[in-house]
Amino acid sequence: MTKLKVGTHILDITNEDKIYFPKITKGELIDYYLKISPYMLQHIKDRPLMLQRFPEGINGQSFFQKNTPDYFPSWIKTIEVPKSDGTTNFALCQNAATLVYLANFGTITFHSWLSRFTKLDYPDKLIFDLDPSTSDFSNIIKLALLLKAILEQTGLNPYVMTTGSHGMHVVCPIQPTVDFKHVKMFADDCSTILLQKYPELITLEIRKNKRGNKIFIDTLRNQVGATAAVPYTVRPYPKAPVATPLEWDELDNPKLTSSQVYNINTIFSRLEKMGDPWKEFFKKKKSLILPRKKLDKLIK
């Protein structure tokens, strides 16, 4: 066990030498989250978390955890959210110490709500998860650009990132003034417009065995209680790939052939070279009211 000071907190780091990924230890994962915290915290702070835990590494048993154990230190903030049979006490990651603590807890991937605990029913993100059925990443890029065009027509500011898994997320920062029901409706209508124009490329079929070779536009994350992988989180695959925010012009780069193009060993040289493409993300929030009116005209 090692003592690690993060901010004003002293953390007990355990089993640092345990192999979590091929040739990557738990200690290296924890070190990654400590170093990435200045970039990641703005995207995770204030949001109820779902933790994807791998206590024995990616080749061991894994599970998702929402409820916060009683033994968590009191300085980790939580939010109690009602559910049908009681409540769930979600952890909030407000600082680097919490991020490191949760990584030491066996968390590899952080998933968060699209809303903040201060306005749980009103998301400040609109998200499209582009989920491929094949390994052809060029069609994912094509669809992301088509989606960008329609979102910009409505007046929104779309951003794009690799998920670190197989696809891409296209995300718009929005003012938290419209509830999840209307946000999901907006996302569904955008997807329907694209489906009508490009039926050979896109599907809205939830069942994987019914999708063929088409790309599924997943809008289901735009709902109360649903979560999405946080920018800069690590994903549970060999080489520890990272969900990586991109500049839109990077989609023209022929080297972008996979959602797993960046990992914990390459992301920092990228950040040093070009900075964080999503640095201004929350400064670009737009109300959904006018975009809704513009989208209605596109539907007609």
Please report, for the domain that includes residue 98, its CATH number: 3.90.920.10
Task: Report residue 24's pLDDT band, with 50, 70 and 90 as the boundaries.
Answer: very high
Identify the bridge partners of residue 217 per DSSP, sorted by sequence position: 130
Inform me whether the pLDDT recorded for 16 exceeds 90: yes
Instruction: Note whether residue 38 is domain-resident.
Output: yes
When pLDDT is cut at 50, 70 and 90, the band that residue 197 belongs to is very high
- Lowest average pLDDT, out of 89-103, 162-176, 202-216, goes to 202-216
Q: How far apart are the first and last CA of the chain?
A: 63
* Six token digits for residue 205: 């079929």
The predicted model scores a pTM of: 0.96
Between 121 and 1, the higher pLDDT residue: 121
β-bridge mates for residue 113, sequence order? none
Give residue 135's domain range. Answer: 120-225+236-300
Q: Which class for 72: exposed (0-12), middle (13-18), buried (19 or more C-beta within 10 A)?
A: middle
Residues 137 and 281 in one domain: yes
Looking from the CA of 193 toward its CB, the CA atoms found within 13 Å total 21
Residue 266 pLDDT: 97
Q: Are residues 283 and 150 in the same domain?
A: yes
pLDDT score of 248 more than 80 = yes
Nearest Cα neighbor of 236 from 93, 99, 91, 61 is 61
Burial (0-12, 13-18, 19+ Cβ within 10 Å), 158: buried
SS3 184: helix
pLDDT range class, residue 164, cuts 50, 70, 90? very high
Residue 136 confidence (pLDDT) above 90: no
Q: For the chain, what percent of residues have pLDDT higher than 70?
A: 100
Residues 157 and 242 in one domain: yes
Q: Output the pLDDT for position 191.
A: 97
Domain boundary among 84, 112, 140: 112
Residue that finishes a domain, picked among 112, 141, 163: 112
Residue that terminates a domain, selected from 112, 132, 161: 112
Average pLDDT over the chain reads 96
Q: For residue 231, is it within any domain?
A: no
Asked if residue 230 is part of any domain, the answer here is no
Other beta carbons within 10 Å of 222: 24
Q: What is the pLDDT of residue 209?
A: 84
Give Cα separations from 25 to 34, 138, 278 (angstroms): 14, 33, 28
Query: What is the DSSP-derived secondary structure letter of residue 122?
Result: S
Residues 298 and 201 in one domain: yes
Q: Are residues 19 and 108 in the same domain?
A: yes
> How many Cβ atoms from other residues are within 10 Å of residue 83's Cβ?
9
**Is there a domain that residue 83 lies in?**
yes
164 and 256 in a single domain? The answer is: yes
* CA–CA gap between residue 37 and residue 115 (Å, rounded): 20
Residues 72 and 220 in one domain: no
Amino acid at 188: D
> What's the confidence (pLDDT) of residue 210?
85
For the segment 64-76, what is each residue's pLDDT rounded down to a tens digit? 999 999 999 999 9
Q: According to DSSP H, which parts of 155-288 are helical?
A: 180-197, 267-274
pLDDT band at 105 (very low <50, low <70, confident <90, very high): very high
From residue 291, alpha-carbon distances to 18, 81, 255, 286, 295 in Å are 49, 30, 34, 9, 6
The tokens of 184 are what? Answer: 């999901």
How many domains, in total, are found in the chain? Answer: 2
Q: Is the pLDDT of residue 207 over 90?
A: no
Residues 105 and 131 in one domain: no
Pair (186, 284) in one structural domain: yes
- The predicted model gives 42-63 an average pLDDT of 97
Same domain, 146 and 279: yes
Assess if residue 140 is contained within a domain: yes
Q: How confident is the model at residue 135 (pLDDT cuts 50, 70, 90)?
A: confident
Q: Is the pLDDT of residue 1 over 90?
A: no
In b/e form, how buried is each residue of 16-36, taking b as 16+ CB within 10 angstroms? beeebbeebbbbbbbbbbbeb
Per-residue pLDDT at 300 exceeds 80: no
Same domain flag for 254 and 276:
yes
Taking residues 128-154, what's their average pLDDT? Answer: 95
| 258 pLDDT tier (thresholds 50, 70, 90) | very high
| Same structural domain, 88 and 217 | no
Tell how strand 202-203 and strand 168-173 pair up. unpaired
Q: How many beta carbons lie within 10 A of that of residue 282, not counting itself? A: 12
